[in-house]
Amino acid sequence: MFDVSFSEILVIAIVALVVIGPERLPKVARMLGLLAGRMQRYVSTVKADIDRELRMDELRKLEGEAKQTMASVESQVNAEASKTEHSIKAVADQTSDTVKT
């Protein structure tokens, strides 16, 4: 995230020691550590939420594609069933006409 070298950290620590003082520095460092931990947990939670939303979007797209495919297959099956039904009726009509004569 940040590119901070050891020398820069050392300069920050010396400035903090001078500004804050040696008696309050451990408390401030502890508080900064706690805040950094909270920030990392918050960032990881946000990343997880974003990842979850992206997966949900992908699943919704897959669901839509599956519904389209199912509708297409259903219409094809209905068309074939209708053709078969008409063929069966035609054969039945021919058979009944042949039986009557």
Domain extent, residue 43, equals: 6-100
pLDDT in tens, 10-37: 998 899 889 988 899 899 989 999 999 9
Other CB atoms within a 10 A radius of the CB of residue 39 amount to 10
Is residue 1 assigned to a domain? Answer: no
Tens digit of each residue's pLDDT (9 = 90 or more) over 77-99: 999 999 999 999 988 888 877 77
Residue 31, pLDDT score? 94
Residue 33 lies inside a defined structural domain of this protein = yes
Task: Tell me, yes or no, whether 15 lies in a domain.
Answer: yes
Residue 29 CB: number of other CB atoms within 10 A? 13
Question: Phi and psi of 21, rounded to 5°?
Answer: 105, 155
3 state DSSP class of 1: coil
Task: Return the pLDDT at 2.
Answer: 66
First to last CA, the chain: 93
Q: What is the pLDDT of residue 101?
A: 62
| pLDDT, average across residues 48-61 | 96
Please give the tally of structural domains in the chain.
Answer: 1
Question: Confidence class of residue 3 from pLDDT cuts 50, 70 and 90?
Answer: confident
